[in-house]
Amino acid sequence: GQQVMQIPQYQHVQEGEDFTTYCNSSTTLSNIQWYKQRPGGHPVFLIQLVKSGEVKKQKRLTFQFGEAKKNSSLHITATQTTDVGTYFCAGPGTSYDKVIFGPGTSLSVIP
């Protein structure tokens, strides 16, 4: 069945270092979404990418959608302690309105 994978599972960085998480789908996606879940909280929508090769920026966060629309990445420049949390990518499933989430990348930032 359709799968969405993410690497790495965990990442520990020193504050100020950069961070990247990668998302790969077993099937071509019409769009990809990214969510952030703070420790003890719930996932919050960050962004959606739709076009092949699309790049979007939100302050220190850069999101990319691959040319084949099967992979995506989230890059954080100069991490801060406020970036701590788990980052999930998600893509539409085969059923209408169903969403497939990746397993997430948990980011820890050491001050």
Partner 1 sequence: DGGITQSPKYLFRKEGQNVTLSCEQNLNHDAMYWYRQDPGQGLRLIYYSQIVNDFQKGDIAEGYSVSREKKESFPLTVTSAQKNPTAFYLCASSGAEKQYFGPGTRLTVL
27, amino acid identity: T
CA 40 to CA 17: how far, in whole Å?
24
Contact between 59 and partner 1 per CB under 8 A: no
- Which residues partner with 98 through β-bridges? none
Closer residue to partner 1 in complex, CB, 18/38:
38
Buried b (16+ CB within 10 A) or exposed e, 16-47: eeebebbbbbeeebeebbbbbeeeeeebeebe
CA 55/CA 47 separation, integer angstroms: 11
Query: Of 24, 31, 62, 108, which one interacts with partner 1 (CB under 8 A)?
Result: 31
- Size of interface with partner 1, in residues (CB under 8 A): 22
The residue type at 97: D
25 binds partner 1 (CB under 8 A): no
Task: In angstroms, give the least distance from the CB of 20 to partner 1.
Answer: 19
Residues in 80-99 at the binding interface with partner 1, rule: CB under 8 A = 88, 90, 92, 95-99
Binding interface with partner 1 (CB under 8 A): 31, 33, 35, 41-45, 48, 88, 90, 92, 95-99, 101-104, 106
